[in-house]
Amino acid sequence: MLYINIIIYFIYLNLMNTKVLHMFQQNKYNLDNRYLKWLFKHLKNILINVNLLVLITIIMFFTNIEYLFSIIYLLLIILFIINKKNTQDKIPLKYTSRVKRLFLTTNIFYLLLTIIIFNLFDNNICYQILNITLYLLYFIIIIINIINKPLEYLVYTHYKKLALNKLATMNKMDVIGITGSYGKTSSKNIVYSILNSTYSVYKTPENYNTPNGILLTINNYLDKFNDYFVVEMGACKKGDIKELCDLVHPKYGILTRIGIAHLETFKSEENIINTKFELIESLPSDGIGILNGDDPKQLNYQIKNNCEIVWIGIDNHDVDIYAKDIKLDGNKTSFKVHFKDENKDYEFTTTLLGNYNIYNILEGIALGRKLGIKIEDLIKSVKALKPVSHRLERKLYYDINLIDDSYNNNPLGSKMAIEVLSKMNGKKIIITSGMIELGNKYYEENKNIGYLISKYQIDEVILIGKKQTEPIYDGLKENNYNLNKVHILNNIMDSFKLIRELKDKDTYVLLQSDLPDLYNENSKE
C-alpha cells in the first residue's frame, strides 16, 4: 500500500508542478525576483486554493491515513484534469530543456525527502509531511531553481561557446539588431520580409529575444549561406542589450520607439533610454543605425558613436526618410515615402494597420535601401507584407471584424491602436485588460486609456479584471463616458460571448493587451 500511495502522490506532484512551473516560466524563472514578487502579490489565493491540502492534512490526522491517502489524491488528480480541460492558458507552459531539468530536480528532491522521512518517522507523520511539502511547492520551486543554477550556468556556457565558434566561421554574414520598448517583433518580421526578397536572411523566431533564445537560434537554425541575421533584442534591465551585442556583434541597428515598458525592473526612464542605445553604441564605425525622428527620447540623446545614422519619421519631416499622405482604405493602407537625398516621393501600399506599422516599414525601407535593394523591389515587398500575429492583426470572428492587438502592452502603442479602431466604419468595441510593468506610472497611463476611449468615442468597453482595470474605469468616469456601455468581466473568454450580443451589422472589436495568465484575477467580478 505504501508504494501505491507514493506513486499516486508523485503523479499528482508532477501535475501540480506543471501549474507552478507555468507561473515560474512566465515570471522569467525569477529573474530580478519577478516570481517572488508575483508570489507575495498572490499569496492569499495560493495559500487558500492549492486544492485545500491543509484541510486534507487535518482530515487524515483523524482517520486511517494509509488508505485515505490514495483515495484523496486520486480525487485530486481527477479534479485537476477536469479543471484543466475547462480552462485555456493564454500562453501555455513551454517544455524547454530548462523546464525539463526543473521537473527532474523536483522529482529527485521529493524522492530523497520521501526516503529520508520514511526512515525517520512513522508512516502517519510521513504522510502529513508529504502533504505539507506539496502544499509548499510554489515556494519550494525557488529552492529547486537555486539547486539548478550551477547546472544552468554550465549549460549556458557550453552553448555560448558553440554559438561563438559557429559565428566565427560565418564572416560573410552581417547581423542586424533590433530593439526598443515596443514594436521589436513587428519590425523584425518586416525587415526580414523586405530583405529576404533579395538576400538570404534568417531571423530569431517568435519572441526569442534573450541570450538563451538567441544562442538556440544560432546553434540550431543559422546557416552558413545566410547573408543577414536579424536579431530581436529584449531587455529588462540596464546592460541586457550590451550583453546581446557582445554575443552577436551587430553591424546594423534599428531602434523602434522608446517608452516606459518594464519601468519596474529598469527603475528609471533614463536607464531605459541608455539601455536601448547600447545597441547603437555597439555598432562598428562602418555600421548603420536607424532611429525614429518622431521620438523625442531618441532626438535628445547624445549618441556616443560615429557610425552612420539614418532618421525616419512621419510627423517630423526634418529626417532622411518620412511617410506622408497616410490613408486607410478598406483592407489596405496607402502612403507616400519621401527620400531626402533624392527629394522624391514614392507610393507604397500595405495591408498592415496603424502608424506604428508605418514606422516599422520605414525602418525596413531605410535599411533595404542602404543595402542596395531597388525601390521597385521595396514597393513589392511592402505590398506583400503580412501582419504579425496579435499585433494589429485583422481577423474575422463569425461576422465580427476583430483587430487583434493583444500583445501590445505600452502607452503609445495603445493610443495608436485606439486611433485605428476609431477610423473603422461601424460599431466600435474595445476589450482590454490594461497595461502592466509601468512602475509608478501604472495608474496614470492606464487612466489615460479611459480618456482615449472617451475621446475617440468608442461605442462599448469590455474591461477584463475589475481590480486590474480600475484606472481605466476611473478615466472613463472622469471623462463622462456612458458607464452603461462599460462591461466588467473576469475572464477574457467570456468577452467573446458578450460581443456577439453587443454587435451590430458592421462591428469592429479591438482586442488590446490580453495579459498573461499570471495576471488573471481568480475571484468572480
Instruction: Give, in order, the Cα–Cα distances in Å from 443 to each of 373, 440, 469, 483.
Output: 45, 7, 9, 19
Cα 394 to Cα 405: distance, rounded to the nearest angstrom: 9
Residue 59 has a pLDDT of: 60
Question: In order of start, what are the domains of the chain with their CATH numbers?
Answer: 2-151 (no CATH), 173-383 (3.40.1190.10), 393-519 (3.90.190.20)
State how far the alpha carbon of 198 is from the alpha carbons of 193, 373, 437, in Å: 10, 7, 39
Question: What stretch of H or E contains 333?
Answer: strand 332-339
DSSP state of 430: E
CA-based diameter of the chain, in Å? 88
Query: Residue 338: which of 357, 311, 320, 364 has the closest Cα?
Result: 320
Tell me, rounded to whole angstroms, the distance of Cα 427 from its chain centroid: 29
Distance CA 55, CA 375 (A): 70
Model pLDDT, residue 149: 95
pLDDT at 148: 96
Tell me, what's the pLDDT at 200? 96
Q: Which long-range contacts (CB under 8 A, 24 or more apart) does 57-64 make?
A: 57/128, 57/131, 57/132, 57/135, 60/127, 60/128, 60/131, 61/124, 61/128
Beta bridge partners of 329: 332
Q: How far is CA 121 from CA 56, 62, 118, 137, in A?
A: 20, 18, 6, 22
Angstrom distance (rounded) from CA 173 to CA 170 = 6
CA distances in angstroms from 483 to 429, 443, 495, listed in the order given = 14, 19, 17
- Report which of 423, 424, 294, 299 is spatially closest to residue 356, judged by C-alpha positions: 294
**CB-side exposure of 28: number of CA atoms within 13 Å?**
17
pLDDT confidence of residue 525: 34
Query: For the chain, what is the total number of helices (H) and then of strands (E)?
Result: 20, 15
How does strand 308-313 pair with strand 507-512? unpaired
Backbone angles phi, psi at 462, to 5 degrees: -115, 115
CA distances from 394 to 1, 190, 388, 420, 491 (A): 57, 17, 10, 11, 22
Across the chain, which has 525 residues, the per-10-residue mean pLDDT values are: 89 94 89 84 69 56 67 85 75 89 97 94 84 88 96 95 94 95 90 95 90 93 93 90 95 92 78 94 96 95 94 96 89 92 95 89 97 96 88 85 84 86 91 83 91 94 90 94 93 86 91 60 40
Indicate the burial class of 212 (C-beta count within 10 angstroms; 0-12, 13-18, 19 or more).
middle
Backbone φ and ψ for 467, nearest 5 degrees, come out as -70, -45
- The three-state secondary structure class of 336 is strand
Task: Tell me 372's DSSP state.
Answer: T
